[in-house]
Amino acid sequence: ALAMGDAGARSVELTQEPEVAMELVVEKLKLLHYERDFLTTRRPAWPALTRTYFARPAGTAGEQFHYFTSLAAHLLRLAGSGFTAPAQFDDPNAACAAIFAELSQCGFAVPSFAAGKLKHGHGKEVVGVLSGLCDLVVASQYARWGLVEYGTETTNSAGDVPVPTEVEEDDESDEQMNRTYASEDGIGDGVATDEESDDDEDGVYGARSGGPPTPVALRADKQTAEEIEDATAIVSQVDPGEWRLELERVAPQLKVLSVSSETKDWRSHLEQAKRHAKRISETFPDVRRDLDVVTEGVTVQLQKIDQREAFVNAELEPLTQTYRVAKENLAATQRLYDQSAETVADLTNELARVGEKLEEVKHQAQAGAEQIADASPLQKLKTSVGALRSEIGVMEIRIGVVSNALLAMDAKRRDVVV
């Protein structure tokens, strides 16, 4: 799942889809008991991870980023680092830089993406960091596991079904088989898991070496032709190595479906299908006759309906023509009405404007008439003329007095000179 760097260094860059890698991360976290050791470290407890939580946006970006930093800090502590989880409202840039520094100290190669890519809280960068840390912790805690050792294969008494003679079954083989076939790791529900493969081999081959024979093996010589055909259909002749290579090739392209454990048992589905097929074969003849009768009745009624429809159409054709003509006339009348309504609206608006102008002229005429009928300016003019005449008379008297005084003074001056 991870691209290894130079000189065997670990890398946090994914070489597969983030959804598939996230499913593997969830399984590795379960192997590390994160539900017990991590989810309960907060109150309220952290929600359990879904198989696409960090691969796609989920909830708010702040909550998703805080979940990522806390989970990364938990994995770093399991790997032996003293890294402390950042608080929810700490600087995200500083938190991303600190995580990059811890990854470098743990032996990871410097990734090609920037630390700021982790601020989103989702995406292939985030999943790559978690996947790399999970691989580091698993490698450190389960370093005692070795590779699976497969024994030689022999054939049973039939000569065409290989039976394993010696397989070393330990924790590593179980985990390796889980990684190879795991329907929980993104292969899908249509591929058998380890337990189902064991049940399949027990049911078809009879029993493993040293085990008691199954009921299928005890009835092998009493099988009917149909049972032999069914058993042959479910026996695979494909080489196990080729089968595993094909599974590894198509595993990233398959999707995981949320189904109950009961739906994973294909044997119950096969038995149920057989029961249904038998019941259908028993009841179908009677049902077929009833369906034929119903079909004949429906056919007759459809013919009658077609004849009645043709008769009704012929009878109503004149009325239809009349209705069509009336509808066309109505449409023409409606168009004329709409045009007349528009004309009336325009004339109404013009009448309103003329009425407003008429009212304005009336007000102006009324104001002019009131000004003409008003005699107060004339009275003021007469009063002003009377006052002016009085002042002129006073001024004439004063002028006469001054003239007389001047004449008297002039006469006295002449007398003095003489």
For 123-152, what is each residue's pLDDT tens digit? 888 898 989 889 888 888 776 555 556 555
Tell me what the pLDDT averaged over the chain comes to.
76
The token pair at 15 is 């070489």
Say if residue 86 is preceded by a cis peptide, omega within 30 of 0: no
> pLDDT tens digits, residue range 165-223?
443 444 444 444 444 433 333 333 443 444 444 444 444 333 333 444 444 444 444 45
| DSSP single-letter state for residue 107 | T
381 vs 106, 168, 361, 377, 393, CA distance in Å? 115, 138, 30, 6, 19
Q: What is the crossing angle of helices 61-78 and 92-105, to 10°? A: 20
337 pLDDT band, cuts 50/70/90, is very high
Strands (E), 103-193: 153-155, 162-164
Query: Does the pLDDT value for residue 115 go beyond 90?
Result: no
**Cα angle for residues 67, 72, 75 (degrees, 5° grid):** 130
pTM comes to 0.36
Cross-strand bridge partners of residue 167: 150
Structure confidence at residue 225 (pLDDT): 58
Question: Token digits for 407?
Answer: 């004449």
What percent of the chain shows pLDDT beyond 70? Answer: 73
pLDDT tier for residue 16 given thresholds of 50, 70 and 90 = confident
Q: Phi first, then psi: what are they for 210, rounded to 5°?
A: 90, -10
Of 108, 112, 66, 109, give the one whose Cα is nearest residue 90: 66
Percent of the chain predicted with pLDDT > 90: 23
Identify the band that residue 230 occupies on the pLDDT scale cut at 50, 70 and 90.
low
The pLDDT assigned to 379 comes to 85
Residue the block writes with tokens 């976290």: 29
